[in-house]
Amino acid sequence: MKIIIVKKDTLLYDEFKFKCSIGKNGRTTKKIEGDNKTPKGLYALGPLYFRKDRVFQISTKLKKIEIKSNFGWCDDVKSKFYNKLIKINNKIRHEKLYRNDKKYDLLIPIKYNTKKPKKNKGSAIFIHLTSNYKKTQGCVAIKKKNMLILLKLIDKKTKIKII
């Protein structure tokens, strides 16, 4: 089974249809770091990262990793850790995973540009939470109740297709 992102606001999985939001500037096959676009293509999914202090019941077949306060995702094109999970270091630009705004209480990395990452091709592309469907910087965002449903349905073989 595949998760499919159609149009700019619909996530499909099996017979489930969820409203979602994507990058402010739409979708692209020529993703560049900071372009606010969601990369088109077919991608594998990473493990589930979650905030243990905010989400208590998670039913999923994905590997689960608790988000610690020092977790970041490197978006520094000059770093050898580009597009990888890191321990926060002020010398390396990063996206903070332990946030106040609840967007990353549940997140699944989309495996875009992760094997031998190419500098400036985009990083930190996730399926994460939204409360208002505001456009993202390139991620796919859904409501928490829908993420919890999706997590029950998918497994490590599930792919996401962004059309």
- The CA distances from residue 57 to 22, 51, 141, in Å, are 26, 11, 20
If pLDDT is split at 50, 70 and 90, which confidence band does 89 have?
Answer: confident
Q: Are 94 and 76 in contact (CB under 8 A)?
A: yes
**How many helices and strands in the chain, by DSSP H and E?**
1, 15
Is residue 150 over pLDDT 90?
Answer: yes
- CATH code of 133's domain: 2.40.440.10
Please report which confidence band the pLDDT of residue 7 belongs to, taking 50, 70 and 90 as the band edges.
Answer: confident
- pTM here? 0.96
- Which residue range(s) make up the domain with 120? 2-162
Q: How many domains does the chain have?
A: 1
- Give the Cα separation of 20 and 132 in Å (integer): 10
